[in-house]
Structure 1
Amino acid sequence: MLLLALDTATPAVTVALHDGTRVLAAGDTVDARRHGELLLPTVDRVLTEAGRTLDELTGIVVGVGPGPYTGLRVGIATGSALAAARSVPVHGLCSLDSLAYASGLTEPFVVATDARRREVYWARYEDARHRTGEPEVGRPSELPEEVRALPALGAGAAQYAADFPGLLPDAPAHASAAALAALAAERLAAGEELASPSPLYLRRPDAQVPAGYKVVTPPAPPARDS
């Protein structure tokens, strides 16, 4: 097994290579505005560090969010293209699951990442490996009281610390491809079928067609005399 994992659902551009037993190499850069610019160079750097090539891959794992539309699609499109070019399967995993897995927690907790618009993407977990329900998006102050009272991790929880009194300041803040790859390898080894790389946007993109938009048809050219 040789899995290439990548995630651009959060401000982190994160890539890792996993051989089914351990992470061989990983690269992480936090820069919310340069996902497209940084991702492929990071893939190249990780492969070089591990002494491996794209031809050796047996699969690719991509973080499917939830995350902002533009950043999220960079990772999914890149992973899908690399998988198609090498004729290997591409798997999708929830990006929040990588933060949960990296935490190593054995008690219930909540993961929250920044969703902009004063909202967070969040999900509740029984422990580092088991999520309770599907990811959601909402204002931190409007989350269920029992959720806000849980131990919390992620950049969203840190940004709205007043709403997450159980914030764990030393826990992971952004998605991790190393954790994503390790979790995928663990599930594949157990015979589990992973999801397709379908993005979890949870809401419509910021860019919208203006209301009342009118299509202007150019006038027909004047008739020519015969």
Structure 2
Amino acid sequence: MLLLALDTATPAVTVALHDGDRVVAASSQVDARRHGELLLPTVDRVLAEAGVRLDAVTGIVVGTGPGPYTGLRVGLMTADTFGLALGVPVHGVCTLDGLAYAAEAEGPFLVATDARRKEVYWARYDDTRTRVSGPAVDKPADLAETVRDVPAFGAGALLYPDHFRVVPGPEHVSAADLAALAAERLAAGAELDEPRPLYLRRPDAQVPKNYKVVTPK
């Protein structure tokens, strides 16, 4: 097994290579405006660090979000392209699950990432591998007290400390954690998600509803 994992659902452009037992190479950069520019060079860097060629990869793991439309589709389209070119399966993993997997937490907790528009993408977990609510997108103040009255981490929690019980933890997802979680699930015979985006809301850019009619003179 040699899994190439990548995620662009958060400001982090993150890539990792996992051999089924451990992460053999990983790289992440935080730049919310350069997902498309940074992703492929990051893939090249990770492969070079591991000393393997792309055609040695046996599976692709991609973060499915939730995340903003523009950034999220970069990772998903790249994963689909790699899968088609290499003839290997493409597995989806919820980005919030990857963050939860990296948490050093016991008992219920919340993961929240920045959804812009003064909202967060969030999910609640019983432990680092068990999601019980979400993913969803809401304004922090609109979350039920019973949902957010647990330790919370992630960029979304850090942005709204008045609404969350913020605890130390990863701010953005790491492809290394996505890869490790996917490898664990595959080894256990579990089915992974389809590589389909969790947008949760419509993109910011909209097609104009009323076009100006231009008639020939």
Instruction: Tell me, yes or no, whether TM beats 0.5.
Output: yes
> Corresponding residue for 2:200?
202
- State the AA in 2 paired with 1:136: A
> Corresponding residue for 1:167?
166
Alpha-carbon distance in structure 2 between the residues aligned to 1:19 and 1:105: 26
**Alignment partner of 2:166: what SS?**
coil
The runs of 4+ residues in structure 1 deviating greater than 4 Å are none
Alpha-carbon distance in structure 2 between the residues aligned to 1:134 and 1:145: 15
Matched, 1:86 2:86: yes
Alpha-carbon distance in structure 1 between the residues aligned to 2:214 and 2:90: 44
> Corresponding residue for 2:24?
24
- State the AA in 1 paired with 2:199: Y
Please report how far the alpha carbon of residue 134 of structure 1 lies from its aligned counterpart in structure 2 after TM superposition.
2.9
Please report how far the alpha carbon of residue 106 of structure 1 lies from its aligned counterpart in structure 2 after TM superposition.
2.4
Alpha-carbon distance in structure 2 between the residues aligned to 1:195 and 1:158: 28
Alpha-carbon distance in structure 2 between the residues aligned to 1:73 and 1:99: 19
**Alignment partner of 2:17: what SS?**
strand
Please report how far the alpha carbon of residue 217 of structure 1 lies from its aligned counterpart in structure 2 after TM superposition.
5.4
**Preserved CA contact (<8 Å) 2:104 2:169:** no
What does 1:40-119 align with in structure 2 at a 5 Å threshold? 40-119=40-119
**TM-score, normalised to structure 1's length?**
0.93
Q: Cα deviation per residue 1:164-218 (whole Å; 9 max; x = unaligned)?
A: 0x201x200001100000000000000011111100000000001223334x355
Percent identity (aligned): 68
> Corresponding residue for 1:148?
148
**Alignment partner of 1:163: what SS?**
coil
> Corresponding residue for 1:224?
none
Alpha-carbon distance in structure 2 between the residues aligned to 1:203 and 1:129: 25
Alpha-carbon distance in structure 1 between the residues aligned to 2:102 and 2:28: 14
Alpha-carbon distance in structure 2 between the residues aligned to 1:19 and 1:217: 60
> Corresponding residue for 1:4?
4
- State the AA in 2 paired with 1:203: R
Alpha-carbon distance in structure 2 between the residues aligned to 1:84 and 1:105: 38
C-alpha RMSD over aligned residues? 1.2
Please report how far the alpha carbon of residue 55 of structure 1 lies from its aligned counterpart in structure 2 after TM superposition.
0.8
Alpha-carbon distance in structure 2 between the residues aligned to 1:101 and 1:88: 25
Please report how far the alpha carbon of residue 123 of structure 1 lies from its aligned counterpart in structure 2 after TM superposition.
0.4
**Alignment partner of 1:133: what SS?**
strand
- State the AA in 2 paired with 1:197: P
**Alignment partner of 1:120: what SS?**
strand
Please report how far the alpha carbon of residue 52 of structure 1 lies from its aligned counterpart in structure 2 after TM superposition.
1.1
Matched, 1:38 2:38: yes
Gaps spanning 5+ residues in structure 1: where?
A: 221-226
> Corresponding residue for 1:223?
none
Q: 1:22 to 1:208 in 2, by over 3 A?
A: same
> Corresponding residue for 1:137?
137
- State the AA in 1 paired with 2:159: Q
- State the AA in 1 paired with 2:75: G
Alpha-carbon distance in structure 2 between the residues aligned to 1:209 and 1:75: 24
Gaps spanning 5+ residues in structure 2: where?
A: none
Please report how far the alpha carbon of residue 154 of structure 1 lies from its aligned counterpart in structure 2 after TM superposition.
0.3
Please report how far the alpha carbon of residue 147 of structure 1 lies from its aligned counterpart in structure 2 after TM superposition.
1.8
